[in-house]
Amino acid sequence: MYDKENFRLDGKQTLSHISMVLNRKRGYVELRQDSHNLSGIEPLKPLVRWAGSKKRELKKLTPFLPDKVDYYIEPFCGSACLFFHLQPAFAILSDLNRELINFYRQARLNPVMLYDEFSKIERSAEVYYNVRKRFNSEESSVARAVLFYYLNRNAFNGIFRTSISGQFNVPFSSSRVAEYLSFHDFSASAARLWGTKLSSVDFEPACRICVKKDAFVFLDPPYFAKGERIFSEYSRKAFSMDDLKRLYSLLIFLDSKQAKFLMTFAFSEQVWAMFRHWKVDTLLMRRSVAGSVRKRVNATELVIRNFEN
């Protein structure tokens, strides 16, 4: 149970496998892991909103997952909703987006301070544009993490998009801003980031360096389709056919290391033909159109795996 005075979370009631203490003065979290068993764990909420998040699709993905995950790698982690859902014993979370990973690092170190700071900032268009300006010139990693979370909750569709010069340029979400997580949910998810290795590197080194036998690697790359720029809101450079080819060689490497992998990708005959060497299933998923959370269509997604359940 959560006790606001002492910032104490007793894992016995809320998280069956974890007990942790948030120390307000020193701003750190102690975490003791009692068991590595995945069953019966109450899922945690992802900390950020993210374009292409699999949050709403977790139920559909569950039958395709391994029964037990002790060593988890997610090289395109975004909101890392599958990680927060599964809570594996050890995890490597990586994403090319440096501000996202900086936020995770700061949330893990300073959850109480971060929460206090972003919840003090007024949620209005005028303040939003001032915050956005500050974020683009802020040098302190801690301050940038506070501003990042504010922007994530108040930006149009929670998108993270930058201009050619690298400036965050998403407008204020005038019609609807996202709720903040409760302090309880925020600090519980932030605490779970202890016991994870966080990095902001390309997916290839993220996996190649850390993979080992029996690791489970979940890959959810940005979509690529011939001649289209899909989800280019993640970065200035859209995911390309060359990246897809690199993914293919990476999967061969993961296979050779006897790691398990599961990759999701938008259906296309080209992609299906490329990866059919492994077990390929299809799933109907809700996908946002042009980065819009409201405009969603059912679209077929490929689920590519090298293992059976």
Ligand X SMILES: C[S@@+](CC[C@H](N)C(=O)[O-])C[C@H]1O[C@@H](n2cnc3c(N)ncnc32)[C@H](O)[C@@H]1O
Packing angle, helices 183-192 and 111-120, rounded to 10: 140
CB of 68 to ligand X, least distance (A): 21
Segment 56-115, which members bind ligand X (CB under 6 A)? 75-76, 78-79, 81, 95-97
| Residue with Cβ nearer ligand X (20 or 161) | 161
Token representation of residue 170: 């998403």
Q: Tell me, what DSSP letter sits at residue 283?
A: E
Token representation of residue 154: 């108040």
| Residue with Cβ nearer ligand X (121 or 230) | 230
Q: How far apart (Å, rounded) are the C-alpha atoms in residues 98 and 112?
A: 22
| Residue with Cβ nearer ligand X (2 or 253) | 253
Listed residue (16, 81, 90, 98) closest to 46, CA to CA: 81
Site string for ligand X, 123-162 (x = CB under 6 A): ----------------------------------------
Residue 92, classed as helix, strand or coil, is strand
| Residue with Cβ nearer ligand X (18 or 81) | 81
Site string for ligand X, 222-241 (x = CB under 6 A): x-----------xx---x--
In contact, 100 and 106? CB cutoff 8 Å: no
Residue 281, classed as helix, strand or coil, is strand
Does 291 engage in binding with ligand X (CB under 6 A)? Answer: no
The amino acid that residue 64 corresponds to is F
- Contact positions toward ligand X, by CB under 6 A? 50, 52-54, 75-76, 78-79, 81, 95-97, 202-203, 220-222, 234-235, 239
